[in-house]
Copies of this chain bind each other. A is one copy, B any other.
């Protein structure tokens, strides 16, 4: 395995750019840096081989060995500890990272089952946590409007814990067009007067949930498309829940009502 020790090395610089969310496109694909054992394991399980594996020199553990076993004769390099620390986005790196290729800019198709539309959800931690919950509850697709946090950024990848690789993700989606095209009920959480208590409502088995921006909520153009407005009951004087929390409560209540 080739050892890289110079900060002037082109490959090191490339990894560093990717680790800082600089976009690198190749044809219809985007190249992404995945850091850490868990994300790399998840990639191997769900998507296969990476474009490149980067190991840290002199870092050894059973988990790293296990990962290496899946990369026989595969394109790998080694960074010394200084270079690996320089690209790491977390306090304590884990001695491994992948460059992987994800398709982007595919034309979205409307969902036929339960799905989520995130409308200008800006916080990367929220977007990542929603993805993680969506996978846990068994959704097939998540759609994001322009104005959402960039879904393949390092922060979103970290909080989603590998959920990206188990669900269809469509970014830059025209929300109104999606809701018009999908032949599914549209479900929105709202504090408006016509909203029903989530836990006293009969939720449809299939439907698209729309969750809005942390401050402004769901945008008016999307609100007008709602077939059912719901509120999550809260103690007096409380204004709102975190958007990722609201998403989880809605999806799990729907799942509970339909026993899966």
CB within 8 Å of B: which residues of A? 125, 129, 132-133, 135-138, 159, 161, 166, 199, 232-235, 237-242, 244-245, 248-249, 252-253, 255-256
How near does chain B come to A63, taking the closest CB pair, in angstroms? Answer: 13
Q: Considering the chains assembled together, what is the distance between the CA atoms of A137 and B132 in angstroms?
A: 23
A-B contact pairs, 27 of them (CB 8 A): A125-B125, A129-B244, A129-B245, A132-B242, A132-B245, A133-B241, A133-B242, A133-B245, A135-B235, A135-B238, A136-B235, A136-B241, A137-B234, A137-B235, A159-B242, A161-B239, A161-B240, A166-B237, A199-B252, A199-B256, A244-B244, A244-B245, A245-B245, A245-B248, A249-B252, A252-B253, A253-B256
Interface of A is mostly: helix
Judging by beta carbons under 8 Å apart, are A242 and B135 in contact? Answer: no
Distance in angstroms from A150 CB to nearest chain B CB is 16
Contact of A136 among B129, B238, B253 (CB under 8 A): B238
The copy count of this chain in the complex is 2
Nearest chain B CB to A35 CB, angstrom units? 16
Residues of B within 8 A of A159 (CB): 242
Once bound together, how far apart are the Cα atoms of A234 and B75, in whole Å?
35
How many Å from the CB of A234 to the closest CB on chain B? 4
Contacts of A137 in B (CB 8 A): 234-235
A243 to chain B, nearest CB (A): 10
Min Cβ gap A131→B in Å is: 10
Given contacts A129-B242, A166-B238, A199-B252, 20 further A-B contacts (CB under 8 A): A129-B245, A132-B241, A132-B242, A132-B245, A133-B241, A133-B242, A133-B245, A136-B232, A136-B238, A138-B235, A161-B239, A161-B240, A166-B237, A199-B255, A199-B256, A232-B252, A249-B249, A249-B252, A252-B253, A253-B256
